[in-house]
Structure 1
Amino acid sequence: MDEFLKWYFSDRPVIAAMLGADGYDHTLGDFTAEAWQNREREQARWLERLSKAEAPTLDDAIDRDLVVSQLRGNIAMASWPVWRRDPSVYLGSIFTAMYNPFQNRLKPEPELVSAAISRLAEVPGVLAACRANLDPDLAAPLLVKRGLGQARTGRNFLTRTIPSMVEDPELRAKLAEAAEPAAQAFDDIVTFLEGFECGGTWRMGERLYSTLLREREMLGYGAAELHEKGKAAWAELDARMQEVAVKVNGSRDWRAAMEVVMDDHAPTLDDMRAEYEAETRRAREFVREHDLVTFAEGEECLVLPSAEYNRPVLAVAHYLAPPPLSASRRGVFFVPYTPDDFTPEQVRQRLRTNARAQMPSIAVHEAYPGHHWHLSYIAENPRTVRKVFRTPYFVEGWALYVEKLLHEHGYFDTPATELAHLDFRIFRAARIIVDTALHCEDMSIEEAETFMSTKASLSPGTAQGEVNRYCAWPTQAPSYLTGAIEIDRIRESFTGGLKEFHDRIAGSGGLPLGLAEKVALA
């Protein structure tokens, strides 16, 4: 396993540095076609070798099977080469590599600036590889347009945002100067993408989608069964929400009730962030008072505006974990600010989809005992591979599971917050239905947007951003409710206490659910 991780880190230095591994923060890595093809061959070799490896203990077997599941998923994806289809593969790596070190601050500022300058020198090469590798027959116009929105933020991000994170004036000026060639490369990729004509599809297809569910996520079922699970969950939640809606506005129409709920929101984006910070503190105290989990020593969760480069592609709250291979236990809950070019009405809609009654669910999901608690706690796990690989079917499943957990303990203590809690859950059921239908059937983007804005309480603009994300990231959207349901099922078979269950299953990592069940019930 140590040999495998050494290869994995050297092949993916941005990921290695993001995890907190030493020695990888001066390079972006090789993004040429040859490098992608070599990676595919090496993954097949590692799969063969690890599949034959003996595992003397259960923990060793879990480690091996975790890596094998990831490799099987990656090898299956070779038939759907994202590096030929989607410019965000290249852009996202650059943004992450430049932003995270200054946000996490694991090293002295001069070292951070030195590493950033080295990476800036490689940006033109990475973007040149993007231009060379994108295949007009495979790349989908939707994905190229999505990447173009990110690319347009590149110049400002590199020449202003990143230098503004440097405190020393001389180092700041040095970094800004070094950023200019990279910024020019971003200008060039914007021009390229604006003129890039392509005709590929974003639809993954049922065969690969189901393969990923079975091989990578270890779920034991494919897309068709997942689709039906989503429909059944939606119908059950719909009935429950009609009952709660009566308490909100006297009607069984929960969509109308949610419209009333969403009208009570913070007046500005900055006020929204401040209110989220207060709610995050309240959630932490509630979890501690009810003794639901064990907290990591020294954990801390900041609540900050979302990074500028993410605003065109992420319309929802999200979380940056502390690098698990480092000593840091400080994570960041990012509040979803809008891009600078949004109209006042678009900003108002963003505020409405982060209404005051919705904030408790979101703070629980992103912070306590959701993502922040979980990912700061697993950083304590002594097994390195558990900190390197995790699946959204557990990580996002856990965050939605704990929303229900806190509901059971009385955290959502008004009809409005209870309705909002259920609305977030039915939203995740709608995601299952839409994601599987988009990629495995023939649901159109317009039909998907209408579904998300009528079967969940999303504004048309937010629904558009959500569906855009599903097209770009197949199989991820169903992970939330799917994982939550599976964790609930496993809990029913656990014979110990609730806190013991949480510490064991979540502390074991972000495992595929089949492996998480083995750990919990061993």
Structure 2
Amino acid sequence: MSRFDPALVDRFLAHHWRFNPVDATFMGERGYDHRLPPAGAETLDDERAGIAELLGMLEASEEPDDLGQRLDRRMMIAELTVRQAAAESRPRLANPAWYSGEAAFGIISLLLPQSAPVREAALLDRLEGVDGFLAQGAERLAGVAVPAGWVARARRECAAMALFLREDIALHEDWAEGWQAPATRAADAFERFASALDGLDDADPAAGEAYLTLLMRTQHGLDFGPREALERAEAAFARLGEEMEAMADAIRPGASAAIILAKLAAIGPESVDAAFKSYEAIDQKARKAAEGLMTLAQGYGLDYRWMAPCFRRVSQTLYFLFYRSPPGLDAGSGSVYWVTPPGSDETAFLAANPTAIVKTIHSVHHGGVGHHTQNARARVAASRLARIAGTDCALGLAFLGSGTLIEGWACYVEDLLMEADGFYSPAEMLLLKQFERRNAASVLVDIRLHLGEWSEEEAIAFYRDEAGFAPSRVAGEVVRNTMLPASRLMYWLGVEGIKALRNRWRGDTVSFHDTLLSFGHMPLAWIAEEMDRAGQLG
């Protein structure tokens, strides 16, 4: 065995960015801003060769004594092992929505505030590269059976981008006339790609038990597989439903949880301006409530803004997040938090922004005490990869293994503030119980879809009729489940894992949370092992 060479992190990232240059842009590595991903006939063979070389060097190295290096080595081995399997059985190049998403965010990533000022040469290169990239995709997909949901998503994204490139990009604050011609050519390319998807046969999106087990055990680091996770989530889903009704009866005897939550949804600001101001105001209240429970990120700002006009329509279709993790390699001093404007229907806007949702989802889960503090703390983690693993990219997290900590923390901290007297009302606590039950429901869908036990139609019906998801959301949610196996299970399993760790922690509450977040974006199971190794758990 050879001594671990920290320079392998640079080789790993160079390999990753070669095949995922849009990820590099989101991470803050500017050397790839002019490129879109390779998608030619030789791409997968080249990628597999690079994976095999890196894995050989990593597996031949000794486990380092240094914490950061140890976690870097472990994450590289896990990510490469999963990508090796994906290249064989579920290559991204066989998914039309991968092409539409990468092409779309290859452009949009360069126009977001985190990339300001716009690097015009890189933007023009990517606009000109869309045609060739999507043409390679159309050629590869010709005659291939593809899940119908993936095709439908790709078509929607292509239509949204064509509209954006023909009209709305001109609303960008840095717009220049020289963008128009290449933007129009790119719009044409999106429409040609959508047309090329006509007539593709449908395919079963199930990943299978072996692949799901690999993701759970290798990428998420769990010591159990899909069958045990399914059993745990089934029991929790039933229990949480009973707890919701008991909580509702305690709030208002005889009333159902549905009735109380409907009344809660009607409570909110009475004007658009008041709704906008409530985001930051409630975030400040959440930060105050969290004092004594955790150490908040103070040196990294959170800037609430109306969403820029150029993005307002395209954001409705794409994986366009209102809060994105800052680029870890060029983080700057703060993040922008978009608030979607009302358009012509102010009543619908106010209905979509009740106080309870702004509080739980925007101000806590994503805001100052949730993802925002977590991301700020990750920038100084001992592991280099833990500083950027949770970067929000075109389709999701850069390295999925980080998700049990990232999404686990953001959901856990929603419940954590129940320990702050007076922050939540009883009805808001009931809403959080509903969120917890929905996360357990997502485990059931994630696993049963990929074990082949449920069809997409059965998953849609379960989300809508039993789990209480909004009907307008469920079809897209199921498509996302099919595209990204083992991604939705990390929310509920992450929360459960953090709760279990806290129960074993030898110190006080603040030190537990501070230590947990100090690891950055890493699989929660590995963090537990490191805490145990350090003698911090009972």
| TM-score, reference length from structure 2 | 0.86
Quote how far apart the aligned CAs of 1:39 are.
Answer: 0.9
RMSD: 2.8
Contact 2:381–2:518 (8 Å) recurs in 1:
yes
Mapped to 1, the partners of 2:80 and 2:372 lie a distance apart of 27
Q: Decide which moves more: 235-244 or 328-337.
A: 328-337
Q: Structure 1 residues 20 and 382 mapped into 2: Cα distance closer, same or farther (>3 Å)?
A: farther
Mapped to 2, the partners of 1:344 and 1:250 lie a distance apart of 36
**Equivalent residue number for residue 59 of structure 2:** 51
Contact 1:296–1:377 (8 Å) recurs in 2:
no
Q: Structure 1 residues 344 and 440 mapped into 2: Cα distance closer, same or farther (>3 Å)?
A: farther
Q: Does 2:170 align with 1:153? A: no
1:170-220 Cα deviation digits (max 9, x unpaired): x52222233111111112122223x23222111212221111101111101
**Equivalent residue number for residue 324 of structure 1:** 328
Written as runs of structure 1 = structure 2, the 5 A alignment for 1:204-215 is 204-215=207-218
Quote how far apart the aligned CAs of 1:353 are.
Answer: 6.4
Mapped to 1, the partners of 2:127 and 2:180 lie a distance apart of 10
Q: Does 2:484 align with 1:470? A: no
Contact 1:412–1:418 (8 Å) recurs in 2:
no
Q: Does 2:373 align with 1:373? A: yes
Q: Does 2:479 align with 1:498? A: no
Mapped to 2, the partners of 1:26 and 1:493 lie a distance apart of 48
Q: Does 2:285 align with 1:282? A: yes
Instruction: Give the counterpart of 2:302 among 272, 297, 300.
Output: 300
Mapped to 1, the partners of 2:277 and 2:45 lie a distance apart of 47
Q: Structure 1 residues 66 and 452 mapped into 2: Cα distance closer, same or farther (>3 Å)?
A: same
Q: Decide which moves more: 71-80 or 352-361.
A: 352-361
Q: Decide which moves more: 120-129 or 296-305.
A: 296-305
Mapped to 2, the partners of 1:463 and 1:354 lie a distance apart of 20
The letter for the 2-side match of 1:365 is H
**SS at 1:33 equivalent:** coil
Mapped to 2, the partners of 1:445 and 1:263 lie a distance apart of 32
Quote how far apart the aligned CAs of 1:412 are.
Answer: 4.4
Instruction: Give the counterpart of 2:98 among 60, 85, 89.
Output: 89
Contact 1:140–1:201 (8 Å) recurs in 2:
yes
Instruction: Give the counterpart of 1:177 among 175, 181, 185.
Output: 181
Mapped to 2, the partners of 1:50 and 1:69 lie a distance apart of 11
Mapped to 1, the partners of 2:352 and 2:224 lie a distance apart of 33
Instruction: Give the counterpart of 1:253 among 226, 248, 256.
Output: 256
Mapped to 2, the partners of 1:224 and 1:492 lie a distance apart of 25
1:253-283 Cα deviation digits (max 9, x unpaired): 2233323333445679887555434433332
Contact 1:505–1:516 (8 Å) recurs in 2:
yes
Percent of aligned positions that are identical: 26
Contact 2:460–2:478 (8 Å) recurs in 1:
yes
Mapped to 2, the partners of 1:307 and 1:196 lie a distance apart of 32
Instruction: Give the counterpart of 1:446 among 451, 457, 460.
Output: 457
1:128-155 Cα deviation digits (max 9, x unpaired): 1210122644411111011111110112
1:69-119 Cα deviation digits (max 9, x unpaired): 11122122223334343212112112222222322344534xx22211111
Mapped to 2, the partners of 1:206 and 1:432 lie a distance apart of 14
Contact 2:276–2:339 (8 Å) recurs in 1:
yes
**Equivalent residue number for residue 314 of structure 2:** 309
Quote how far apart the aligned CAs of 1:249 are.
Answer: 4.4
Mapped to 2, the partners of 1:320 and 1:32 lie a distance apart of 30
**Equivalent residue number for residue 507 of structure 1:** 518
Q: How many residue pairs end up in the alignment? A: 509
Contact 1:277–1:303 (8 Å) recurs in 2:
no
Q: Decide which moves more: 355-364 or 398-407.
A: 355-364
**SS at 1:302 equivalent:** strand
Gaps of 5+ in 1: none
Mapped to 2, the partners of 1:86 and 1:269 lie a distance apart of 40
Contact 2:114–2:326 (8 Å) recurs in 1:
no
**Equivalent residue number for residue 357 of structure 2:** 358
Q: Does 2:78 align with 1:69? A: yes
Q: Decide which moves more: 455-464 or 270-279.
A: 270-279
The letter for the 2-side match of 1:359 is V
Q: Decide which moves more: 373-382 or 178-187.
A: 373-382
Q: Decide which moves more: 85-94 or 215-224.
A: 85-94
Q: Structure 1 residues 422 and 309 mapped into 2: Cα distance closer, same or farther (>3 Å)?
A: same
Mapped to 1, the partners of 2:350 and 2:154 lie a distance apart of 25
Mapped to 2, the partners of 1:304 and 1:21 lie a distance apart of 27
Contact 1:20–1:325 (8 Å) recurs in 2:
yes
**Equivalent residue number for residue 25 of structure 1:** 33
1:370-400 Cα deviation digits (max 9, x unpaired): 1121112212335422223242222111111
Q: Structure 1 residues 397 and 266 mapped into 2: Cα distance closer, same or farther (>3 Å)?
A: same
Quote how far apart the aligned CAs of 1:453 are.
Answer: 2.4
Mapped to 2, the partners of 1:232 and 1:496 lie a distance apart of 31
Q: Decide which moves more: 95-104 or 486-495.
A: 95-104
**SS at 2:167 equivalent:** helix
Mapped to 2, the partners of 1:72 and 1:435 lie a distance apart of 21
The letter for the 2-side match of 1:476 is S
Mapped to 1, the partners of 2:214 and 2:113 lie a distance apart of 36
**SS at 1:358 equivalent:** helix
